[in-house]
Structure 1
Amino acid sequence: MAKPAKTDRKAVIEEMRKKQKSADRRRGTVIVAVCVLVGLGIIAAAVVPILLNKHEDSKLDNVALDKLGSAASVCQKTTTQKADGNQNHVPVDTPVTYTTAPPAFGAHWNQAGLAPASFSKKFYTADERPPLEALVHNLEHGYTILWYDQTIAKDSSAVDNIKAIARKFGDENYRDKFIAAPWLSSDEDGAKFPDGQHVAFTHWSAGGNGETDTTKQVGAFQYCSDVSGAALKTFMDTYPYTDSPEPDAM
């Protein structure tokens, strides 16, 4: 049999090279396409939950405060306790033991940037919550604090309602002195809420708007088994920021 001519071998080799290049291009295109799809998947995984949360937020933002969460009947009657600690400022980082869970009054820190907590921050998670000694200073300035325990913190629907409640309060008007903050474990914050109660409202009352007699000061407490915007609204109407030891302070 005759051997193929050199020109035939060159043609075969050239054809093989063309096929290899074509295969390489196809493989490269597939790899790029897969990378793009993976990238889009990663972006979607990050963005879609944010968009869904915003959509959920927008729905709750259209709900009136007194319609958020459960009915006011999930809350117990408000109680009061004689207050102390007015103007009792202790050095920052000095731990204070509070006799109630959560506190509504007592000794507290007083230092710019640490106490009281920012007027513009309305909702705190466990990772970012200021120390109790700073938040009690907020109470002295007329804030109402909604405290939620770990049971509520694990309930995404309940937390969504608390966040929606917090968004009802802006940072342009003193009447919006409100903070939602977690009540941490007994090792960190002390005693637990009463059995079956997972939310609490507290306010440091001067004993009436404009009252200057410190002996009339009381702490107001209301405990709830669930989140209730209706109960909170009534509580804050009863105890406005003006009914506090230092209503004109931020």
Structure 2
Amino acid sequence: MAKTAKTDRQAVIEQMRKKQKSAERRRGTVIVVVCVLVALAIVGIAAVPIIKDKLDERELSNTALADLGSAASACEKITTKKAEGNQEHVPVGTEVDYPDSPPAFGKHWNEAGVAPAPFARKFYTTEDRPEIEALVHNLEHGYTILWYDETIADDDDALADVQAIAEKFDGDSLRDKFIAAPWQKSDDDEGTFPEGQHVALTHWSAGGVGETDTTKQVGVWQYCSAPSGEAVEDFVKKYPYFDSPEPDAM
């Protein structure tokens, strides 16, 4: 009888051990599952804005230029001013004092790989924008430049509109001479935009398509309170790349 009782106790103990191990396995499985779910939730939360940005980009890329951003009514009337500086090159690194904010003409740098800025780039941020003296050379070659200030740079939606506008010119034709670039804090010495205006379109006009008399050249400006694809479309139609001092240069 004593032997039987001992055997029974061992069986009970063994059964308890099995139950304990089973419970520990279940607890371990629950912990693993919870950790996986938490990790997936964290990844999902992080992925949401990325996915949203991609969807927004796709939506903007499928939107016509004239439908991007605000209506053209967000912009002031176009103004012009007699231009100078045609073919007036200064050494790279030389700081040019431009009287207008932003410039539409003037002396500029001229060095391969530096100035003018490359044709393939249509959009710049505050981290990678070329110097003003390089971009003025682009103006001489017929580019339209959309300059945006810090108000736009700090507004994700407005900046997305600027980038989407720039991407509409992402081609290999001369008619795609367009650049969007920030007017930065470091440019404050050159001046600021008119009050309430945060975008400026500039172009260096020859004074008419095919005009060769340099005394007829003018700088062209249009200021806007917000990015407007409609205004850009109207602006580049009125002042195409071939209305410039050097339309055939890239």
**When the two structures are aligned, how many residues end up with a matched partner?**
249
RMSD: 2.5
Task: Specify the alignment match of 2:116 in structure 1.
Answer: 116
Q: SS of the residue aligned with 2:66?
A: helix
Q: Structure 2: which amino acid aligns with 1:237? A: K
* Structure 2 CA distance for aligned equivalents of residues 190 and 31 of structure 1: 62
* Structure 1 CA distance for aligned equivalents of residues 28 and 131 of structure 2: 56
CA shift at 1:194, angstroms? Answer: 0.8
TM-score, normalization by structure 2: 0.87
Equivalent pair of 1:119/1:171 in contact (CA under 8 Å): no
Task: Specify the alignment match of 2:168 in structure 1.
Answer: 168
Residues 1:26 and 2:54 are matched in the alignment: no
Q: SS of the residue aligned with 1:103?
A: coil
CA shift at 1:110, angstroms? Answer: 2.3
* Structure 2 CA distance for aligned equivalents of residues 172 and 132 of structure 1: 23
Q: Where does the alignment leave 5 or more consecutive residues of structure 1 unmatched?
A: none
CA shift at 1:157, angstroms? Answer: 2.8
* Structure 2 CA distance for aligned equivalents of residues 131 and 187 of structure 1: 10
CA shift at 1:7, angstroms? Answer: 5.0
Task: Specify the alignment match of 1:126 in structure 2.
Answer: 126
CA shift at 1:3, angstroms? Answer: 11
* Structure 1 CA distance for aligned equivalents of residues 4 and 188 of structure 2: 89
Task: Specify the alignment match of 1:202 in structure 2.
Answer: 202
Task: Specify the alignment match of 1:39 in structure 2.
Answer: 39
Task: Specify the alignment match of 2:62 in structure 1.
Answer: 62
* Structure 1 CA distance for aligned equivalents of residues 112 and 36 of structure 2: 49
Q: Structure 2: which amino acid aligns with 1:134? A: A
Q: Where does the alignment leave 5 or more consecutive residues of structure 2 unmatched?
A: none
| Greater alpha carbon shift after TM alignment, 184-193 vs 223-232 | 184-193
Residues 1:235 and 2:212 are matched in the alignment: no
CA shift at 1:207, angstroms? Answer: 1.8
| Greater alpha carbon shift after TM alignment, 226-235 vs 21-30 | 21-30
* Structure 1 CA distance for aligned equivalents of residues 4 and 185 of structure 2: 87
* Structure 2 CA distance for aligned equivalents of residues 30 and 110 of structure 1: 67
Q: SS of the residue aligned with 1:237?
A: helix
Task: Specify the alignment match of 1:147 in structure 2.
Answer: 147
| Greater alpha carbon shift after TM alignment, 223-232 vs 108-117 | 108-117
Q: Structure 2: which amino acid aligns with 1:75? A: C
* CA deviation vs aligned residue, 1:147-197 (integer Å, no higher than 9, x gap): 111122233332232222122112221101111111112665631101111
Q: SS of the residue aligned with 1:195?
A: coil
CA shift at 1:46, angstroms? Answer: 3.3
* CA deviation vs aligned residue, 1:6-42 (integer Å, no higher than 9, x gap): 6566545544543443344334323332332233233
Task: Specify the alignment match of 1:135 in structure 2.
Answer: 135
- Seq. identity, %: 67
